[in-house]
A and B are shown apart, each in its own frame.
Chain A
Amino acid sequence: MSAHAVTVKEQDKRLISSRSQPYVYFKVKLTIENEDTSQMTDVVYKFLITKAVAETLGEVGAAICVDLLKLFGNGVSIIRVPSSHSEKLWAALTLYGTTPAQARCAFRVLQVSSFLMGLAFDTTEHS
């Protein structure tokens, strides 16, 4: 349990407020020049994320535990990372531009949330 959690307990009421969340969740879209990402497997997708992190942060940085939770058909994915490493992952994905096969590519961060529930909808949909 988080060190920042505050607990108030009464007879039938219990209130916990946690200000430090263990993970950050990203919704990311990968596009590769002249390539269809809809057929990509989750293993290849995860490999590209690991390459992106290794390229920016080196082998030690690549040891960050990044979980690929869901891969949608259009190159969009949901990724989970410990919150202490979230900025590093965000930077690495943004800076990554060429796949190992020398094709130009880009990771675009679509949504960020400290809760997985936060990525269930895109509330800018009415735009």
Chain B
Amino acid sequence: MAASIRHSIKSSTLQYETLSTNDSKQRDVAKIRDHFFNFGVTLILPGVNTVPNQILECLTDQLSYKLEKLPIYHLLEIPFIQAFVKRGAIHLMSVNRRLHTNDTVVLTPSGILILTLTKDTYEQLGLEAEKQNHIHHQNKTFVVKINLLERAFHPGKKGYDRTLWCLKDRLDLVFDCLISWDPHDKKLCSSSVGVYFMEKCHQVTRIDLKKASRNFTSLPCPKLDAKDPEGSEIGCQFNEFFEWMGALACDIQLRPEDASQDNFVTTMSCPELVTNLPRCCVFQASGFLTSNTILQVWRALREHTSQNESYPTSLTVHGFNDCPVNKKSESHYYYVTGDNIYSLVLLPEGMCCIYTATGF
């Protein structure tokens, strides 16, 4: 057990990638689009006292709901698939569930229902799981994937009837879920999904985003050299810069290095080679955010930053630790830390970097 904990804390990965802001492959956009389930965002905005309206407006349109005690077979019903899965990007994930100790479910915008099941539930359910990887094998978890958009997935077909029977009659799986829907047709309202589930589950509650912002003046800001992120004469190491962003997100005041060396309480300091930010605003919003909303925030941020490029501006997206998927449908694990974060940082001279922090 102890060996497993040690292994898992040290299995956290920090990936750093540099690209140009005019990247032909648009890897920044791909990064956002591939991360479906987002809990919150942290924006570090140098040079301003208030969050620009164009960024705030992006967060007002999205509607998210919490569905309590939703029987999961309702997601297989044809009216739901026709009205929501085929006509928009649906984001659904279970909450109040611990990954690797409980059953979890997600429905991705690509129409794939992913059930991550414990051994007991899997054996009672009777649906075929994917081949286990070594971590799922170690934890005795089984992943069942059902493609709701498959051509042959409709009533009368053996596969559909059996899946519905297993989820409805054989084992009535019930989850508390978060749901959000971005319709393809802009004339449709995303609140329809909340209304649809009103009579199908115990209770439907709208989730309001929690927003908070803090202002800083004369803030020490480390320099990051995009061309040499492993530390140079003109910039700090990339992981020190990520720690500095984390300190701002947690509202931790960093002292200059000289003042921290002999401090009893903390020796943490701002990395060397600092510039002074005369003004800086840190904005945080949390709730349930879809990748489309994050993309709008990113575009608004880039538009805002194009006028003020002398300091690094960042968008950090916090995924759910208990979410069974992180990038597209790739498995995510949570044994001790479960980090599921990425940051996009706009640096001076038209450079951009992407941090991806994944824990286990």
- A residues engaging B (CB < 8 A)? 1, 5, 7, 12-24, 42-43, 46, 65, 67-70, 78, 80, 83, 86-87, 112-121, 123-127
Contact = CB atoms under 8 A, between A and B. Distances in A.
A16 to B, nearest CB: 4
A67 B269 CA distance: 11
B62 to A, nearest CB: 16
Given A13-B19, A16-B238, A113-B339, A121 B318 contact: yes
B14 interface: yes
Interface string B23-58: 100000000000000011010000000000000000
Contact of B250 (A7, A17, A119): A119
Given A1-B231, A17-B15, A115-B242, A120 B357 contact: no
A114 B337 contact: yes
B10 A117 contact: no
- Among A21, A65, A68, A70, the most chain B Cβ lie within 10 Å of the Cβ of A21
Given A14-B17, A78-B250, 8 more contacts: A14-B18, A18-B14, A68-B266, A80-B268, A113-B359, A117-B246, A117-B249, A123-B40
Given A15-B16, A68-B265, A69-B250, A118 B337 contact: yes
Nearest to B22: A12
- Size class of the contact patch on chain B: 35 or more
Given A21-B239, A125-B286, A70 B251 contact: yes
A81 B265 CA distance: 12
Nearest to A24: B9
Contacts of A121: 39-40, 284, 286, 318
B359 A67 contact: no
B245 interface: yes
Interface in B210-257: 226-227, 229-231, 237-239, 242-243, 245-247, 249-252
A41 to B, nearest CB: 9
A124 B104 CA distance: 14
Contacts of A16: 15-17, 229-230, 238
Given A1-B230, A112-B336, A113-B337, A118 B357 contact: yes
B12 interface: yes
